[in-house]
Structures are given as C-alpha cells and as structure tokens.
C-alpha cells in the first residue's frame, strides 16, 4: 500500500508519521535484526526515505508483539522467514528522531530467504554483505550493533 506512493509522498508520510507518534504516543518501539548467514554475511536494507544501509526492521504496531513485528518486517524487507526463535541482543534508546524511541535488536541465525527482494518505492536495495566489508554508507547504529554481536560486547544502552 505505502510502497505504491511516489517517493516524495512516501518521505512526507514517513515524517508525518513520526510527528504523529511524538504527539500521540509517550513511547515508540521498534525492532531491528542482525541477520547472519552461514557464510559470515549480514543482511542490510537501503530505503528510499532514509540515507544509508540499515539493519532490517521497523515499528511495532498496536496489538503486535515485538517478535511478530520482527517476523513481519523481515518478510516485508527481505523475504526472510524465521525458522527458529531469534535471540534478543539488547534494548537501545534511539534519539535520532525523538527521545522516546526504543529499539529492540535481535540476532537471527536460523532463517530461510524465499527469494531475493526486488526494489520498490520503499526498499531500494537489499543484500547480504561480508561483515568485514560492509557498504561504506552503512549507518553508525547498524555498524555498532553488528560489532557488538560479533565481538560479544555488551549492548549499548544508546543506539
């Protein structure tokens, strides 16, 4: 539905939604996943309305559990289906848009990708990348979470 909007309208909708969330919700919650395949690669997504490469994920909707949101976002952004329970890595305060946004980060090692994700108006590009050779435009928060998972470092409280 949203993917059918022209990119400028999609960006406007994205910003309007964040403004609405700031006014209507005392707290927002999102999920992201560090999806690692058997070849030591991590799955990343590049959106039309955000700069850079990101871990897949998105907002937890009303009446939806965090795990349901994670499964939905992985299907939508990567045609990825969980085949076993993911591991919760950490909960991070993400102050990029608001000081009320928390991100739950999960580690996903058991999954199957039904087929490669094609581009549309929301998701421009996706792929699995070697963890030691991430795209240059991978955003700082995603790089930090990948590093924490791979090194066994404690999860930072901040995104």
Give the pLDDT score at 19.
75
CB 47 within 8 A of CB 53: no
Give the pLDDT score at 1.
57
CA distances (Å), origin 123, targets 8, 49, 79, 117: 14, 9, 12, 9
Domain boundaries, the chain: 2-151
CA 87 to the chain's CA centroid: 15
Distance CA 51, CA 137 (A): 8
Task: Return the higher-pLDDT residue of 129 and 20.
Answer: 129
Distance CA 31, CA 10 (A): 21
Domain 2-151, CATH 3.90.79.10 — does that match? Answer: yes
Res. 21: pLDDT tops 90: no
Shortest CA distance to 29 belongs to which of 86, 140, 89, 104? 104
b/e map 83-109, b = 16+ CB within 10 Å: eeebeebbebebeeeeeebebbbbbbe
Chain segment 33-45, per-residue pLDDT in tens: 999 999 999 999 9
Measured from the Cβ of residue 28, the count of other Cβ atoms closer than 10 Å reads 18
pTM for this entry: 0.83
Chain segment 86-114, per-residue pLDDT in tens: 999 999 998 877 777 899 999 999 999 99
Give the pLDDT score at 3.
62
Label residue 47 by pLDDT band (50, 70, 90): very high
Structural tokens at position 120: 């549309």
């Amino acid at each position: 539905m949203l993917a059918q909007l022209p990119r400028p309208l999609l960006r406007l909708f994205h910003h309007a939604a964040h403004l609405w969330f700031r006014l209507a919700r005392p707290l927002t919650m999102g999920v992201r996943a560090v999806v690692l395949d058997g070849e030591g690669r991590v799955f990343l997504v590049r959106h039309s309305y955000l700069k850079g490469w990101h871990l897949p994920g998105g907002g937890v909707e009303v009446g939806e559990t965090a795990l349901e949101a994670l499964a939905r976002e992985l299907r939508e952004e990567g045609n990825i289906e969980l085949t076993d329970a993911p591991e919760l890595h950490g909960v991070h305060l993400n102050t990029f848009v608001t000081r009320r946004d928390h991100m739950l980060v999960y580690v996903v090692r058991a999954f199957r990708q039904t087929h490669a994700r094609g581009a549309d108006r929301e998701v421009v590009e996706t792929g699995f990348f070697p963890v030691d050779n991430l795209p240059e435009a991978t955003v700082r928060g995603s790089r930090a979470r990948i590093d924490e998972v791979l090194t066994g470092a404690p999860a930072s409280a901040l995104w």
